[in-house]
Each structure stands twice: as C-alpha cells, then as structure tokens.
Amino acid sequence: MEDLWRAYYAAIFNPARTNVDLLLQHMPARRWSNLPEAQLIQELAFESGSRERGMIQKKPISAAEFIPEGATLPVLREAVQACRACELWECATQAVFGEGPAGAGIAFVGEQPGDNEDREGRPFVGPAGQLFDMALADAGLSRPEVYVTGAVRHFRFEERGKRRIHKTASRAQVAACQPWLEAELALVRPKVIVCMGNTAVLSVIGRGVRLMEERGTVNPHRSAGGVLITVHPGFLLRMPDEKRKASEYERFVEDIKTARTFAEAQRTPPLPYRLDRASTAK
C-alpha cells in the first residue's frame, strides 16, 4: 500500500510549484519518519529545477512573439529575419517573405523556400516558380496581380555532398511559423486563398486533407472569402510520366481559373482576415 502511495505521490509531484521553504515549514523534518513519501521528497525537490526547465522547453513554439504589433507588410518582411521561433533559421541563408500587392484578390500559399528562394530571398523563383508563372499566365493572370507566399519562411534541407536537398517541414515547424502567414494575410485581405500542397493546407486550414479529393473547389471561409486547395507546382515537376504531367498541369491551371472566377465574383471586400480553422468547411 505504501509503495502505491509513493508511486502516486511521485506522479502528481509538480516541480513547477515546488517551494522548498514552504514545504519544510508545513512538513517539519521531525515528522518525516511517519510519512511514506518522505524518502522521495529530497530527490524530487532536488530535481525540481531541471524538471521545471524541461516543462518550459516543451511549451509549443510560436512565431507570434516575434511579430510587431500593428506592423505593415514591409515591417513584417523585415521582422521575419529576426524570428527564432523554431530551429530552421539556423542553417538557412535568410527568411523568405511573401510578395505581391496588398489587396490582391488571390493569395497563393506554397510550402517553404527552396534552394533558389533561400539564396535570392524571394518566393517561387526556382523551377517550381517558373512552372507556377506559366500556369498563372495560362489561367489569365500574372505574378504582379497576385500575392504569393509560403507556409514556412526558412528553408529546411539536408546536405548531401554539395547539394541541399529539400526536407518537408514538420507539423511543429508549420505551426510555429503560422502566425507570420496570419499576420501577412490580415494585411493583404485576399478574396480567395489558394493552398498549394499539403503544408499550405495544414497552415491555413489546420488539418491534413485528402488533397486530390478535396482540390479544385472553393470552400467558404468566414474571414477570407474562400479557400481553394490544389497541388504544389513542385509536385508536377517531379512527375516522371510526361503524359500524366501534362494532364495534371491542365488540372492545376483549371484550379487557378476557378480561384480567379471566384475572386472576380466577390464584389465586397472580405472581412479582415483571420485564420479561422473551425469556420473552414471541409
């Protein structure tokens, strides 16, 4: 029975609320011989500092504290360079912020900077960006008309020889970086957000989806008009089968046209943008 009690006591011991002076005051040492948990107290109290630090380190990470209040887009662009909310800044050259006019009808959200974007500091400038520009043109749009950004601001990669190979950002890194997207889109106020790929979906909608099943239609979004899911242009680039690549490219262009039609039909400006996951229809 005493073993059971000791196990229970150790399990509920909260190192963050340990005040050794108060403990000694309320439990004078002379009474400790009657307490089955007494032999545990010294050890638990001794470890409380390091256990408390561990608890603090496990707190969810977020970029929110790096975002200046009332910032404009240029201020956000500068501020993101100082973000240390996750470890991705350590190896990247720089953070890559979005580009495009505030008030753009469509905001495209991609994944994270690639090798070219990391070096140049601009979104979608590599091969996937070139394909994206081509698809935009085929959908009757051009880059200066739209806003283009990413779910994660620093390049995640692993080195293989002289090459830096892209690695998908973890859920924790996407969540940490999400406040930048939220702050940015609050200023752009797009009529429709186009999520290109799973990482963008995760950041904007807050859950994974069956992308190929849910792509291509605009779902309501209380604060931003609508959200449309489609593939990432990098996915098209990686397709080995040329025939399939061509047909997937056509679908990608159709998805962009759907977003364009939706944005053009929105007469009233959207409400101030807020990522509201609960209000995003499946």
Q: Pick the closer one to ligand SF4 by CB: 169 or 193.
A: 169
Instruction: Give the whole-angstrom CA distance, residue 252 versus residue 216.
Output: 8
* Residue 224 engages ligand SF4 in binding (rule: CB under 6 A): no
- Rounded least distance, CB 49 to ligand SF4, Å: 28
231 lines the binding site for ligand SF4 (CB under 6 A): no
CB 270 within 8 A of CB 191: yes
Chosen residue from 41, 88, 125, 200 binding ligand SF4 by CB under 6 A: 88
Which C-beta is closer to ligand SF4: that of 63 or that of 201?
A: 63
For CA atoms 32, 35, 36, 40, the dihedral sign is negative
Q: Are β-strands 225-230 and 218-221 bridged in parallel, bridged antiparallel, or unpaired?
A: antiparallel
Taking CB under 6 A as the criterion, the residue among 177, 205, 231, 236 binding ligand SF4 is 177
Q: Are 103 and 144 in contact (CB under 8 A)?
A: no
Give residue 188's Cα distance to chain centre: 18
Segment interacting with ligand SF4 (CB under 6 A) among 9-17, 149-157, 245-253, 259-267: 149-157
Residue numbers 14-73 binding ligand SF4 by CB under 6 A = 63
Question: Binding of ligand SF4 at residue 85 (CB under 6 A)?
Answer: yes
**By the rule CB under 6 A, 148 interacts with ligand SF4:** no
DSSP 247: H
CB of 81 to ligand SF4, least distance (A): 9
Let me know the angle formed at the C-alpha of 168 by 162 and 174, rounded to the nearest 5 degrees. 130
Distance between CA atoms of residues 198 and 166, nearest Å: 15
Q: Which of these ranges, 12-20, 88-96, 217-225, 259-267, lies near ligand SF4 under the rule CB under 6 A?
A: 88-96
Q: Does 176 bind ligand SF4 (CB under 6 A)?
A: yes
Q: Which residue has the tokens 């009657």?
A: 34
Q: Where are the alpha helices (DSSP H) in the chain?
A: 2-12, 20-26, 38-57, 73-79, 115-120, 127-138, 171-188, 198-205, 211-214, 233-237, 242-265
Q: Which is nearer to ligand SF4, 48 or 203 (CB)?
A: 203
249 phi, psi to nearest 5 deg: -60, -45
Q: Is position 154 an interface residue for ligand SF4 (rule: CB under 6 A)?
A: yes
The region of 84-92, 139-147, 181-189, 260-268 touching ligand SF4 under the rule CB under 6 A is: 84-92
Residue 182's alpha-carbon distances to 14, 79, 188, in angstroms, are 35, 14, 10
d(CA 95, CA 78): 9
Site size for ligand SF4, by CB under 6 A?
A: 16
* 3-state SS class at 31: helix
For ligand SF4, the closer of residues 179 and 270 by Cβ is: 179
173/280 with CB nearer ligand SF4:
173
Q: Does 155 bind ligand SF4 (CB under 6 A)?
A: no
Residue numbers of the site for ligand SF4 (CB under 6 A)?
63, 80, 83-86, 88-89, 95, 152-154, 173, 176-177, 180
